[in-house]
Amino acid sequence: MSWPSDPSFVPRAACYRCFKPAVACICVATTRVANQTGITILQHPHERFHAVGTERIARLGFANVRVELLAPWDDAGAIRARIPRGAALLYPGPGACEVASLSRGQIPPHLVIIDGTWFQAKKIYAAHAWLAELPQVRLSPSSPSRYRVRREPQPLYVATIEAIVEALRILEPDTIGLDGLIESFMAMVDRQAQFQFRPSSRLTAEIGGTSGAGSRGARARR
């Protein structure tokens, strides 16, 4: 990587907890939630530094969460070994049960979520057969995603943080702070939307992240 020759150039400050520019840091605004249901996020590597990826909100906001980088071509043996017994995959696969229809005895102690575009999520799901062996649950959101800065392939497909929060509202309705995570998500989206369609430099276009790595159109929640 080469730095600009202009001696006055000063790299913008970045937060290395949320991987966003310091001026757009979401750490302080993200409330901590003591979730009872464990969360494992399987994140496509291209999504890690995406400007408006929502995994960062889940990672900062949930007390009981683990993020694992997983690509379709990876050996997932170690990751699979860390998935707790009884975990369910939150994914609209064949035979997936509605979260809202689960009986008390069917409620999973742990949820696994694939984080990436829907295209990436499908590739990960297809490449790692063990995911299809997990019990699968799905959501039927009552309203479209508020992720207006990224295009979803279907109106009721939602972002990772939206999916996790909606599932936890059903599984553990007494948990405090879930609304705060959605507020952090919406604030991040609103900030990005201010710059998204404005003719500008690359720096302005990437106001939401520390790099332009990754591409995504929608998410499974994605």
Residues 152-171: pLDDT tens digits?
Answer: 555 567 889 999 999 999 99
pTM: 0.75
Mean pLDDT along residues 28-43: 87
3-state secondary structure of 183: helix
Q: What is the C-alpha to C-alpha distance for residues 160 and 112, in angstroms, rounded to an integer?
A: 11
Interval 66-123: pLDDT, tens: 999 999 999 999 999 999 999 999 999 889 999 999 999 999 999 999 999 889 999 9
Q: What is the reported pLDDT for 182?
A: 87
3-state secondary structure of 80: helix
Q: What is the reported pLDDT for 118?
A: 85
User: Which percentage of the chain shows pLDDT scores above 70?
Assistant: 65
| pLDDT of 21 over the 80 cut | no
Q: What is the reported pLDDT for 49?
A: 74
Q: What is the reported pLDDT for 5?
A: 58
The half-sphere exposure of 166 on its side-chain side, counting CA atoms within 13 A, is 25
- Mind giving me the DSSP string for 120-148? HHHHHHHH-HHHHHS-EEE---SS--S-T
Interval 163-211: pLDDT, tens: 999 999 999 999 999 999 988 888 877 676 666 556 554 444 444 443 3
